[in-house]
Every structure is written in structure tokens, then in C-alpha cells.
Amino acid sequence: MPNRIYTSNRCINNMIMCIHNWNNIKNPAQNQLDNFLYKINSYFGFLKHTNSYGIKWRMWNMISHKNLIWCKNMVYIKQIKHN
């Protein structure tokens, strides 16, 4: 369709694999959390340049360990600071 920019299937599939790897970790350590945030925010950066809000929403719903992270307006994911 004209005037739409689509995300490649390869990018989406790699993002899904990253999320599945994250979901398979039972108790993530701090370095694993940091590594996941770097990767997932990179993918969200790719999606920022396309018409892909639905893809971002679906990916956010797939992510587990939401007690450790939060999503800022479907733009990036940050770590929750626990005191």
C-alpha cells in the first residue's frame, strides 16, 4: 500500500526470538536484564520508523518479568528502580 512503511519479517522474528529467550530465564540477573533492555530497545528503535504500533503492543504483551521493566508510551522499555 502506498504511504506505509512496513517492518521486515526478519526484524520481527528476531525480536520474537529475543523475547522468547528472555521469557525462558527464571530469575534474571542484572547483566541479563541490561542485555535484554539493550536488545529490545534497539528493536523498538527499528519499529519507530515504521507504522507498527500494533506490533509493539503485541511484543510488549509477550514479554514476561514485568515486575522488573515498564514501557514508556510504546517507545522504549526501562528498568523499574526498586529501593
Question: What tens digit of pLDDT does each residue of 31-55 get?
Answer: 999 999 999 999 999 888 888 889 9
Residue 4 in any domain: the answer is no
Average pLDDT, the chain: 91
Range of the domain at 42: 9-79
Residue 2 in any domain: the answer is no
Residue 48 in any domain: the answer is yes
Rounded Cα–Cα distance for residues 54 and 63 (Å): 15
Region 62-71 average pLDDT = 93
Percent of the chain with pLDDT over 90: 70
pLDDT score recorded for residue 19: 97
Neighbouring CB atoms inside 10 A of 20's CB total: 11
Report how many domains make up the chain.
1
Long-range pairs of 29-38 with CB within 8 A, sequence gap ≥ 24:
33/68, 33/69, 33/79, 34/79, 37/69, 37/77, 37/78, 37/79
Residue 74 has pLDDT above 80, yes or no: yes
Residue 1 in any domain: the answer is no
